[in-house]
A and B are shown apart, each in its own frame.
Chain A
């Protein structure tokens, strides 16, 4: 089963047991056990890799030795031929053939090790990634379990007297109403501010004699008379 699927199972765990622990703690424990097992398997794989690499080094050394011996004996064979000792040269050449045969075998083993090492390394990297991902996911599942407990506590505090307190749409309405009230208050405050500053301006204009300080019936009549005389 994939990690995601297991986590999914863990997370939905007891969802059917109404009011009971929703996150299945048993499933989390199993996951954690699997995680520990994977970590152990990873360690074993790393140990395995170390011993295979040691063996590979041994074979590697043999291959180098054989290659060196072949070069060495090739020189001997040439020297024997130079001296006209054809049968000695043939013996050396036979020896070289033995070495080459052995080299081919050892090279084959070396190649086999090489493949094994690189596939083991790949596997180890892969399981390290898996373990990291699993670690993260398990911690998220555990975290959400804690958050859930916290929320259960909170809603238990809320509910008690009034169960409609818990309705999401009601809550939203209440928040919107509060926001509206706040905005109304703010705009009322702005209106009030401008009114008062308006009053203030009028008073200052009157004081400065720019606006009639007393707008009375007689002053208006005077003004109208002046207008009529001008026309």
Chain B
């Protein structure tokens, strides 16, 4: 028994014209498919952004008095640190403490700090 006999090539040869047409059409189909998907995702995004906006508008009046008494976020000072992304809002929290809190959270989650996104850090004062 010949275990490794030659295997015939699958399919047929195609002409130059068919070859070019298939390549162009294939690329066009991939583009068209992903562009249509992009449009769907944009529509989805618009819908969810509007929904989010409506919700936050509904919550805002109730939350307004409480917000007035809350401390103002500190402005981020100077240039961001190397490797950082975005900004963080800090409420009565010094730089060093904020950095320490973020490092502890990253360590406990077992994820690198640069893969986490911190939106704000606020000190909760005991009454």
A binds B: no
Q: Which residues of A contact B (CB under 8 A)?
A: none
Q: Which residues of B contact A (CB under 8 A)?
A: none
